[in-house]
Amino acid sequence: YQMNFIDGEKKTPAVGMMNYQPADGGVRVVWVMEGEMDMPVVGGYFALLADPMLGGMFQQGLDKLKQVAETKP
């Protein structure tokens, strides 16, 4: 999926994806977000902080996906 981070009039595009891989007893889901950090110097530090800032929300989404997938209809 595609998304934009908007700061004033500047849009920074990013692409998110979920990869599914067979694993022992189930499926391994990897949630990835890729994009360009178009800010010299500061962008690198922001990229390092992305996981601490967004990782909890990604984990919450993965936990919810697991709950729904494991619930019998």
pLDDT in the model for residue 20: 92
Where b means 16+ CB within 10 Å and e means fewer, 60-72 reads eeeeeeeeeeeee
Enumerate residue ranges in the chain where pLDDT < 50: none
Partners of 67 in beta bridges: none
H/E element holding 43?
Answer: helix 42-70
The per-residue pLDDT for 60 is 93
The pLDDT value given to residue 21? 93
Return the residue matching tokens 């999926």: 1
Question: According to the model, what pLDDT value does residue 19 have?
Answer: 92
In SS3 terms, 9-38 reads as CEEEEEEEEEEEEEECCEEEEEEEEEECCC
